[in-house]
Amino acid sequence: MTDESPTDSDTANPHTGEEDQSELTAVKYADGSIGYPAHTLGPNGNPPVETIDLREYTAEVITWTTATATPPGVREPNTLAIVEFEIDTESVRAIGQVTTTDITIGDRVEPVYVSELRDPAAGIREPDSQTWDGYRFKPV
């Protein structure tokens, strides 16, 4: 778990200085399993009973790859990782961009908010419909 936990009054990301408007929320289901992204029912048909802010945790890189042929507006090369958060005795995985190409399996990472994961003006669609904010994973 990281030493910093965001509060309602502190929404600036300490690593990027960007205003953090997005949540990275997993849910715990009645049977104790954890899911990300959240779903109405868990794997055993149980409804969620609480939310978990994954920004408060670090994760371990399970695997990664670098895409060199990316969609319009996505950085090239684009390194992606599947990471695993350990929460109590359960774990939950997420996939996302990594802040660096220097990543290895087993590295500890933390989520950092990014207001623009891709250039909305690239491509053929209306730019206003192509805004993508979210999280990248940064080695700690």
Please give the residue that has the higher pLDDT: either 138 or 126: 138
DSSP string, 45-111: SPPEEEEEEGGGS-EEEEEEEEESSPPTTS-SSEEEEEEEEEETTEEEEEEEEES-S---TT-EEEE
pTM: 0.78
Pair 74, 104: CB distance under 8 Å: no
Residue the block writes with tokens 């408007």: 21
Count Cα neighbours of 76 within 13 Å in the Cβ-side half-sphere. Answer: 6
DSSP-assigned letter for residue 34:
E
Mean predicted lDDT score pLDDT of the chain: 84
pLDDT tens digits for range 66-102: 999 988 888 889 999 999 999 999 999 999 999 999 9
Separation of alpha carbons 124 and 127, rounded Å: 8
Please check the confidence at residue 133 and state whether its pLDDT lies above 90: no
Q: How confident is the model at residue 21 (pLDDT cuts 50, 70, 90)?
A: low
